[in-house]
Every structure is written in structure tokens, then in C-alpha cells.
Amino acid sequence: MKRDGLGALATVLGGVILVAVIAWLIVLASPHQPALTSNPDGTITIGGTTYNHVTLSIATYPDSLFGARGSGGAHPDWVSYSNDNLVVPAHSAVTMTVRQYDTGGEPNNPYFAKVVGTVGGTETINGTSVTSIPVNDVAHTFTLREIAGNAPYLYLNAPLPAVSASAANTLHIGHGTYPKPNVVTFTFITKGKGVYLWNCEFPCGDSVSGFGGAMSTYGYMSGTLTVN
Amino acid sequence: MTNENKEKQGKLRWGELITVWLVLTILTVTGSLTIIPHLMPRAASSTMHLNILTVVVFSVTAAPVGSFVYAIAAYGLRNWRAGSGDEPPADGPPLRGNNVVTIVWIVVSTFLCVFLLVWGLAALSSDSSAAANSTFKVDVTGQQWLWTFHYPGTSVTTESLYLPEGKTVTFEVTSLDVVHGFWIEQMGVKIDANPGEVTTISVTPDKLGTFDVRCTEFCGLYHAFMTTQVHVVTPTKYHAWLQAQQA
């Protein structure tokens, strides 16, 4: 009887430890890059309202040879954003600059070639203001939405145009060599504090739908935007 | 086994069993009527009202049956449990030839099954008639990990859904990649979004407000965050919104 009781206790303890180890592994698999915090840039008046203005600069690469992974990590050939952990202040105007170094094509849904949710519904590409880009010229998107229950409703889509496949790789950045990027800039107004999710809506990963691999692994083509 | 236990095992005290059954039935019926409606999303369509009513009615119908099983289990545990150190009794002989029990079992089971069948067919018929009367359609597209909505006859596509109150809408649902599940919690609308196929479902929103859309089929890394909102507005506001989107 006493041995049976000890056996049951050991079984329960073993189960608890197993669950804890699984939870720990899940936490390790979650986004854990160092936070990229926005830089203050005075104030800006938009639509008659003056906002605290900040700037944030990130990039998209055709590989993982730069950014938080340094020399490439486990999948040096996977496409990647330079950062996956962005931090900005609440109720502020955030001007984001994305340097886009990758080639592209057509997204699964042409809707993601349209600029949505930015100030004026526009973005600038190499200095030219646009409301959308050609559907067959999308490399990636920066698509942001709230995590329901964690932040106020928000939706933003900024399509990032492709670099020509024949462009010469002339820029040495980190361990990679890249063509001259398309520089995309857009501004949006943050809402209340909370955690928002962003990801790419161009099928740039593996598998049939193009949403495997880099698209389905933390730290490559998705991340969080923390508003505090 | 002690003589006392043998004596206890041999007698079935119907009064005790029926008392336990009645108490459990009253508790579960009361819980079904008072608690279950509050566990469901607040209704924003007649479909959801019917869904809540269906869950309550089915729970109330099942309460006496479930309570009877638990009453027998509780009675058995209390009265037929082998005492400490006793050898557990061997299984008793099979019971056959009790016509009363057999007839009651068949009649009650048949009545309950027919009742649930008729209720279900009536609910399906109600859904079908709503779809037949609908001329207003919205194309719903699921893709990892967002919903998009296109309003046929217009150039409008959005990532959150706008609907006019009181007008029956038919959703034509599909997916661009893997299987998703289109679910408007408060409207009782839930249907799979399959790649290469169009599935349809209709509903008539009857409450103004903002409601929740979720994906109900595990569709990858950010399945849990594949959510958006439905805004039900007055028909006047809906048309103003649609015109503004096309401007």
C-alpha cells in the first residue's frame, strides 16, 4: 500500500516536471530577440492633432545573414526581418522605415498590395508616395494587427516592393551581400498600451502555401510590436 | 465479505435511489436553465438565439438521463462498496426478462431521440429558409492569418466586416491556403473555409454593435490570433460606410 502511494506520487511529480519542461521549451521557442525601441523625434501635427513623434528603422533580407541572427543561425537561407521585437510609445506617431532587399512576386491575396491603416493611407517608396503597389511586385508586407484581448483594435498593411531579380549585389551588410534596397516609409498612430502582432502576408516561406519555414517560425517573418 | 455487507448488497432501496435521482435532476435542470445561457456568447442574431435555446433544451432533456446514471453510480458507491479488507464481490448474474424495464427504456429512448431529431431538422430548415431569402452576399476569404471580406458589386475589400442590422446576409466562404474556420461567435455562424471550394452560410444580425470573428480550424503558427471584428450598423450608416470606402 505504501509503495503504491509512493508510485502514484512519483507519477504525478513526473507529469508535473514533464509539463514544466514542455512549457519551458515553448517559452524558448517564443520571440526572444532584444527589443528594438523607437527613437524620439519631437512632435508632429497630423489632422490638427499634435502627437509625440518617434522613428523606427528595420529591414527585410532574402536570407538570415544579418540582424539578430548574426551569421545566420539555424536557417541562413531563410528570408528574414532584421528584428522581431519592436517597442513604441502609446498614442504617438510612429514613422517606420523599412529597407527591403529581397525579390518578390504576387501575394496569395492582391488585397495585401494595398496600403491600409497608415496616415493618409499612403507610404513612400524611395521618396514617392503611393497607396498601393503593383500586385506582381510585392516582396513582403508589414501587416500589423492587435492581439485580441491584449490591445485595442488596429490594422495596418504596408506592402514592400520587390527589388529586381537582375539587380547586382553591391552592398555588404553583416555576412551577406545585397542589392540596393527599396526604402519604404510610412507613419501610423499607435493606440493604447498592449501587444500587437505583425507578420508578412507574402508567401515567402516553404510548403505548398508558402507559409511554412520562415513564415511559421518565430524570429524570421513575424514579430510583436509592444506599445507601452 | 461481512454478513452486513452481503445484506446491504442484496437490497435495492428504490426510495433512496429515486431521491438521489430527483435531487440531481432538479440541480442539473436548474443549472441548465440558469447557468448555461450565461456561458454562451450574447446573442446578436436569431440564429444565435436558437443556438442558445437548443443547448438549453438539450441540456434539460439530458439532465434526467445523466442524473439517473450518476444516481446509480452514487448509490452503488455508497451501498455496494466493499469494506476495507473485504474481498470484492464477484459480478452478479445477468438480469433478463424484466419487461417493464425493457419497455420503459425503449419508449423513453425513442421519445428522446425523435424529439431531438425533430428539433434538429426544424433548426436546419430555419437556416435554409434564411439562406433562400438572402440577396445580400459577402465574400469571406481566409488566409494565414487574416480574414478579408469583399462586397460583391463593389471594389471594396476590408479586413474587418461591416453589416447592416436586420438584413439577411449570405457569406460565401473560401480559403487561399489551408483549411480555416469562419466563426462569428455572437451570431451563431460557423463554417469551414476550404481552399478551392466555396461554402455558404446565412445570418440576420439583429443587434447593433461590434462582435468577434475567430478561426476555428488550427491553421498554423498564428491561428490563435486570426481574429477580427464585425461591425453591425444601421442600414443608413452601412451605405454611407460603403460609399466612403469606394470614394
Cβ–Cβ below 8 Å for A155 and B227: no
CB interface of B with A, residues 25-54, below 8 Å: none
- For Cα atoms A199, A203, A205, give the angle at the middle one, nearest 5 degrees: 85
Q: How much is the pLDDT for B2?
A: 52
Average pLDDT, chain B: 90
Other Cβ atoms within 10 Å of B99 Cβ, number:
7
Is A116's Cβ below 8 Å from some Cβ in B?
yes
Chain B nearest C-alpha distance from A200 (Å) = 10
Q: How much is the pLDDT for A34?
A: 86
Question: Which residue among B141, B148, B225 places its CB closest to the CB of A197?
Answer: B225
B222 contact residues in A (CB cutoff 8 A): 197, 199, 222
Chain A nearest C-alpha distance from B206 (Å) = 23
Least confident of A34-38, A215-219, B41-45, B133-137: B133-137
Output the 3-class SS for chain A: CHHHHHHHHHHHHHHHHHHHHHHHHHHHHCCCCCCEECEEEEEEEECCEEEEEEEEEEEEECCCCCHHHCCCCCCCCCCEECCCEEEECCCEEEEEEEEECCCCECCCCHHHHECECCHHHCEEECCEEECECCHHHEEEEEEEEECCCCCCCCEEEEEEECCCCCCCCCEEECCEEECCCEEEEEEEECCCCEEEEEECCCCCCECCCCCEHHHHCCCCCEEEEEEC
Task: Point out which residues pair with A80 in neighbouring strands.
Answer: A61
Q: How much is the pLDDT for A7?
A: 86
Contacts (Cβ under 8 Å, ≥6 apart) of B4 = none
B229 contact residues in A (CB cutoff 8 A): 153
| Calpha distance A67→B144 (Å, rounded) | 25
Average pLDDT over residues B81-110: 81
Chain B nearest C-alpha distance from A101 (Å) = 23
Cβ–Cβ below 8 Å for B144 and A197: no
Ranges under pLDDT 70 in chain A = 1-4, 29-32, 67-72
Measure Cα distances from B183 to A227, B58, B214 in Å.
Answer: 28, 22, 5
Question: Which residue among A109, A116, A216 places its CB closest to the CB of B141?
Answer: A109
The three cell numbers locating residue B47:
440564429
Cβ–Cβ below 8 Å for A109 and B159: no
Contacts (Cβ under 8 Å, ≥6 apart) of B116 = B58, B61
B155 contact residues in A (CB cutoff 8 A): none
A147 contact residues in B (CB cutoff 8 A): 225
Residues A14-33 have pLDDT tens digits of 999 999 999 888 777 665 68
Average pLDDT over residues B68-84: 86
Q: How much is the pLDDT for B9?
A: 57
**pTM of the predicted model as reported, rounded to 2 decimal places:** 0.84
Question: Which residue among B141, B178, B229 places its CB closest to the CB of A153?
Answer: B229
CB interface of A with B, residues 164-203, below 8 Å: 197, 199, 201, 203
B145 contact residues in A (CB cutoff 8 A): 199
A217 contact residues in B (CB cutoff 8 A): 221
| Calpha distance A112→A135 (Å, rounded) | 8
Least confident of A83-92, B5-14, B98-107, B194-203: B5-14
Q: What is the CA radius of gyration of chain A?
A: 21
Q: How much is the pLDDT for B7?
A: 52
The three cell numbers locating residue B182:
469562419
Interface A-B: count of C-beta contacts within 8 A: 52
Is B154's Cβ below 8 Å from some Cβ in A?
no
Cβ–Cβ below 8 Å for B222 and A199: yes
The three cell numbers locating residue A13:
511529480
Cβ–Cβ below 8 Å for B144 and A209: yes
Residues B166-212 have pLDDT tens digits of 999 999 999 999 999 999 999 999 999 999 999 999 999 999 999 99
| Calpha distance B111→B129 (Å, rounded) | 27
| Calpha distance B193→B211 (Å, rounded) | 19
Q: How much is the pLDDT for A134?
A: 96
| Calpha distance A127→A183 (Å, rounded) | 8
